Amino acid sequence: MAQVELKNISKIYSGNTKVVNNVSLTVEDREFVVLVGPSGCGKSTTLRMIAGLEDITEGEILIDGEVVNNQAPKDRDIAMVFQNYALYPHMTVFDNMAFGLKLRKYSKVEIKNRVNEAAKILDLENYLDRKPKALSGGQRQRVAVGRAIVRHPKVFLFDEPLSNLDAKLRVQMRTEISKLHKRLNATMIYVTHDQTEAMTMGDKIVVMKDGVVQQIDSPLELYNNPNNQFVAGFIGSPSMNFIEGSLSQNGNFSFVVNDQVQISFPKKFSSILNNCDRNKIIVGIRPEHFSLSKGTSFSDEAYFKTTIEVIEPLGNETFLYFMIDGRQYVARVNSENVNNIGDLLKLYINREKYLLFDENGNRLI
């Protein structure tokens, strides 16, 4: 396997449109790295530049320490799995997986050994004589992955490979790809717009927006310590709640929105809050950081007083939707404590968990 290094790479299309802007990233040998972000953020373009399918406008890409900017895709020793399976409909599963090896003039014995090995890994041994039309969506995607495995590449690239599958199959396939990574000890770079895929699969996640890397970190670090409001809102489902207000100071700092909201900040944050613009502050609260009852971290120092608009029971937990100052918010609570739609309730906020951002989305606390 191999290390992949991106050094200040950019991609500029005609009209001076910069879709990837000065991206630097190191993917260590045998690491699973996920590029995630909304549509148009530049993640797939970045992957295609690594593969050699897009020219690099600025910067360098190195694979195993060798600059590959001018190398053809076939010479980079990478294998790519696409969103659409790109299988040949008239060929069997065996022939689809073997096709690339035949083009490279591998012996029949070597081709058979590699295809059978990949089929065993992917549980496709009983399907080698079938054609794609006789397979389910998940099986077709496994064939596409198998076609990459037989190459024995230095690096595996995945471009939104699960987007065409239904929800149940997506869960199954992301588990299989994670197992595959551990089994092959492979270097993998995976692109998705789905933050759940990113959180559950990646050793390291790269969050992108408008062609710019916002943060590179482990899944839990991204979730607990986002660099800015965009990362905080993009990572996590349901998304983090953001409420705008101002700061007032009467001894301790307090967050002011209306009489529905009470949030007081501990003295340890005074030095930060003294130096920020107090007229517009954004507080971020994850849905699970609300409680219907007081506790060690929940008190009258931080709460929302509101009316339940919508209840979504999910069995072990329930989502409560409510309005504050004309905007909708959501709390994730224990199903045993749920009230009824229209009930007035007090939602206590975990004082140790909320985040604070300035009006530009920069993290303050």
Calpha distance 331→252 (Å, rounded): 26
Please check whether residue 248 is in contact with residue 279, taking contact to mean a CB–CB distance below 8 angstroms: no
Beta bridge partners of 295: 298
Calpha distance 36→205 (Å, rounded): 7
Calpha distance 230→114 (Å, rounded): 44
- Mind giving me the DSSP string for 263-296? EE--GGGHHHHHTS-TTSEEEEE-GGGEESS-BT
Number of independent structural domains in the chain: 2
Which residue range forms the structural domain that includes residue 109?
4-234
330-356 residue pLDDT tens = 999 988 877 789 999 999 999 889 999
What CATH number did the domain enclosing 85 receive? 3.40.50.300
Q: What pLDDT was estimated at residue 337?
A: 74
Please check whether residue 347 is in contact with residue 218, taking contact to mean a CB–CB distance below 8 angstroms: no
What CATH number did the domain enclosing 337 receive? 2.40.50.140
Are 164 and 210 found together in one domain? yes
Q: What pLDDT was estimated at residue 265?
A: 87
pTM: 0.94
Are 167 and 257 found together in one domain? no
Are 307 and 218 found together in one domain? no
Domain assignment of residue 188, yes or no:
yes
Calpha distance 238→287 (Å, rounded): 7
CA torsion sign, 8 to 9 to 14 to 15?
Answer: negative
Calpha distance 152→204 (Å, rounded): 23
Whether pLDDT at 278 is above 70? yes
Calpha distance 107→109 (Å, rounded): 5
Are 266 and 205 found together in one domain? no
281-309 residue pLDDT tens = 999 999 999 999 998 889 989 999 999 99
Q: What pLDDT was estimated at residue 251?
A: 63
In this prediction, residues 322-336 reach a mean pLDDT of 93
Are 135 and 271 found together in one domain? no
Domain boundary among 177, 205, 234: 234
Report the Cα–Cα distance between both ends of the chain, in Å, rounded.
Answer: 40
Tokens of 217: 């970190």
